[in-house]
Amino acid sequence: MALVRERRQINLRLPELSDRRPRFPLPLPPAPTTTTTTTSTSAISCNDIEKIHVIGHGNGGTVYKVRHKRTSQIYALKVVHGDSDPLVRRQIYREIEILRRTDSPYIVQCHGSYEKPSGDIVIVMEYMELGTLDSLLQKYGTFDEPKLSHVARQVLSC
């Protein structure tokens, strides 16, 4: 004789993720002791860049495809809006610091950054013409096992 019992209904609430908060914690750099309105970490300035078109929009900013006027080199320009809270701004500067120190063929290079007088943070990065993993997934659908193993090998080698 089989015993059948009623299944309990368990309703677990997932925490709501704010659009303004990062999805994962990053170690934060120490808070600056002095405030500056303009920061430059590269020889590339906003006057050297010509916007070609918008690549995409994110939680706090916009990414543009741009051309360096003197060299005709193509870059991705990430502009993060200055109205974000101080915690988000510190995490953006941490991301810049990590990208500047990372030397891997599998991670985009950061060629420089600066802060506009409006407070917007601008990051000049290597342009990847094939796009992001997300755009490749949208274009081609799911990845087969050999493609997944190739991506996993690249991630694990960093």
User: Looking at the predicted structure, is the pLDDT value of residue 3 above 70?
Assistant: no
Task: Tell me the helix, strand and coil percentages in the chain, rounded to 5.
Answer: 25, 25, 50
> Which pLDDT score is estimated for 16?
56
Q: What is the pLDDT of residues 90-146, one digit of tens each?
A: 888 898 899 888 888 888 889 888 888 888 899 999 998 888 888 888 888 888 899
* Rg of the chain taking only CA atoms, in angstroms: 21
3-state class (DSSP) for residue 56: strand
How many whole angstroms separate alpha carbon 40 and alpha carbon 46?
11
Tell me the domain boundaries of the chain: 46-127, 130-158
Q: Which of 99, 126, 128, 113 is nearest to 46 (CA)?
A: 113
CATH architecture of 46-127: 2-Layer Sandwich (3.30)
pTM: 0.65
How many whole angstroms separate alpha carbon 117 and alpha carbon 149?
44
Q: Which residue type occupies 17?
A: L
Which pLDDT band, with edges at 50, 70 and 90, does 22 fall under?
Answer: very low
- In sequence order, the 6+-apart residues with CB closer than 8 A to the CB of 38 are 114, 115, 117
Q: What is the pLDDT of residues 29-55, one digit of tens each?
A: 454 433 333 344 446 777 788 999 999
DSSP 47: G
Phi, psi of 113 (to 5 degrees): -155, 155
> Which pLDDT score is estimated for 32?
44
Binding site annotation covers 78? yes
User: Looking at the predicted structure, is the pLDDT value of residue 82 above 50?
Assistant: yes
**Higher per-residue pLDDT: 123 or 27:** 123
Q: Which of 54, 125, 67 is nearest to 92 (CA)?
A: 125
Residues 53 and 64 sit within 8 Å (Cβ to Cβ): yes
